[in-house]
Amino acid sequence: MRILPFLLLCGISSAAYAQKPVPDNLEPMPPPPAFETGGDSSDEPAVTIIKETDQTVEEFRSAGKLYMIKITPKNGVPYYLVDDLGDGKFSRQEGLDSGVRVPRWIIHRF
């Protein structure tokens, strides 16, 4: 029964040696074109990390406007301060879960 895996392994290894040899006159591929960012990266979100002795503060900005702050205490659970309305007033959230729950109905039981 061990002869079958041995023959299969021999067949696979012989197929690897049966490939065409690589020609000697190959030329290297040209380098890829340069990627240009368009010059303005202000629309990309930016994160500023401030490490303090008792906590780490991460400030999230989009288009230069602060919209969320994540505070991670040294001995505790991280929490978020989120500007939901865009008026500069931050409300505390324990997680990024919005709290919306989709109703679920039982259609059929097995």
pLDDT digits (tens, 9 = 90+) for 1-42: 678 888 887 777 766 666 677 778 888 888 888 777 665 555
The contacts of residue 53 (CB under 8 Å, 6+ apart) are 74
Question: In this predicted model, what pLDDT tens digit does every residue of 57-78 receive, in sequence order?
Answer: 999 988 888 888 999 999 888 8
For the chain, strand residue ranges (E) read 46-51, 55-62, 65-73, 79-82, 91-93
Domain range annotation of the chain = 46-93
CATH fold of the domain at 46-93: S-adenosyl-L-methionine-dependent methyltransferases (2.20.130)
Is pTM beyond 0.75? Reply is no
